[in-house]
Amino acid sequence: MELIKVNPAHKKYIALIELNRPKELNALNLQLMQELKEALRQLDEDETVRVIIITGNERAFAAGADIKQMAGKTAIDMLNIDQFSTWDQIRKTKKPLIAAVSGFALGGGCELAMTCDMIVASETAKFGQPEIKIGVMPGAGGTQRLTRAIGKARAMEMVLTGDFIDGHEAQRLGLVNRVVPVEMYLHEAESLAAKIAAMSPVAAKLAKESVNRAFETHLDEGLNFERKNFYLTFASEDQTEGMNAFIEKRKAEFKGR
């Protein structure tokens, strides 16, 4: 891996992926996205990992898809390269994904953060979909996920003006889970990850899948999906352990089975 750094054992059960093109503000070129896809695939299969954090650096989470790589392309080139198909794989990651965002999260950077399940932001974070300023529009989920997260009026404004919002505004609008001073954002993401990593990974996987289903289907089907996944948790040892620990008034030790 050249353009990302991966530590599967960053903390107990927590993997950390750092986007690592600092000079280009972590612009997401094809190689970086391939590496990210492969890293997530491996971590998703790694039994020692329960939660994955994706981060950049203080100045930039990611300033978008790589404009220099795209500039000379034709529509047919774009269709053939189909760069956003990589993103479908990221969306299919089964383990909880947390984006720890400081600085620029623009265009594809904002979209990558939104592809994660939760966002922890620093006060200096800047979220935006500025594609309109370079004559294009969001292409990796921005018009869909931003609209679902913050509502039509504000999403429309951000997509049509390219204006940025800061961490506090992003939290007020429901785009991010937590906003903290810049020196704390990774630590805060780790605390959130540790809390989730202490739960049953089987239940976390099924619960994540069920919450995501809320965006993909109508209520009746979503409720049915949730119910089946709930029943499925009873196939796990973690369910027995969790319920017995409650009754015996002790802390549960989840094994992911």
Query: Which residue numbers are catalytic?
Result: 65, 108, 111, 131
Taking the complex as a whole, how short is the minimal distance between the CB of residue 137 and ligand CAA, in angstroms? 7
Of 137 and 232, which CB lies nearer to ligand CAA in the complex structure? 137
Taking the complex as a whole, how short is the minimal distance between the CB of residue 136 and ligand CAA, in angstroms? 6
How many residues make contact with ligand CAA (CB under 6 A)?
21
The structure tokens listed for 84 are: 């956003």
> Which residue do the tokens 């990611």 mark?
62
Of 96 and 103, which CB lies nearer to ligand CAA in the complex structure? 103
Taking the complex as a whole, how short is the minimal distance between the CB of residue 228 and ligand CAA, in angstroms? 34
Residue 28 φ/ψ, nearest 5 degrees = -90, 90
The Cα 240–Cα 188 span in angstroms is: 31
Residues 128-157 that bind ligand CAA (CB under 6 A): 130-131, 134, 138-140, 142
The Cα 166–Cα 123 span in angstroms is: 7
Out of 108, 165, 200, 225, the only residue in the binding site for ligand CAA (CB under 6 A) is 108
Of 65 and 155, which CB lies nearer to ligand CAA in the complex structure? 65
Of 67 and 173, which CB lies nearer to ligand CAA in the complex structure? 67
Of 124 and 239, which CB lies nearer to ligand CAA in the complex structure? 124
Out of 18, 111, 117, 188, the only residue in the binding site for ligand CAA (CB under 6 A) is 111
The burial class, CB within 10 Å (0-12 / 13-18 / 19+), for 72 is: exposed
Taking the complex as a whole, how short is the minimal distance between the CB of residue 66 and ligand CAA, in angstroms? 4
Taking the complex as a whole, how short is the minimal distance between the CB of residue 155 and ligand CAA, in angstroms? 14
Sign of CA dihedral 93, 97, 101, 105: positive
Interface characters, 88-107, with ligand CAA (x: CB under 6 A): ----------------x-xx
41 neighbors 87 (Cβ within 8 angstroms): no
> Which residue do the tokens 């990850």 mark?
193
CA-nearest of 123, 116, 77 to 98 is 116
Query: Can you point out the beta strands (E) in 75-122?
Result: 97-101, 104-106, 118-122
Per rule CB under 6 A, is residue 203 in the interface with ligand CAA?
A: no
Interface characters, 17-36, with ligand CAA (x: CB under 6 A): -------xx-x---------
The Cα 176–Cα 242 span in angstroms is: 29
CA-nearest of 80, 93, 79 to 36 is 93
Residue 99 φ/ψ, nearest 5 degrees = -95, 125
> Which residue do the tokens 């990974």 mark?
201
Residues 38-67 that bind ligand CAA (CB under 6 A): 63-67
Of 67 and 194, which CB lies nearer to ligand CAA in the complex structure? 67
How many other CB atoms are there within 10 angstroms of residue 216's CB atom?
A: 9
**For binding to ligand CAA (CB under 6 A), which residues are involved?**
24-25, 27, 63-68, 104, 106-108, 111, 130-131, 134, 138-140, 142
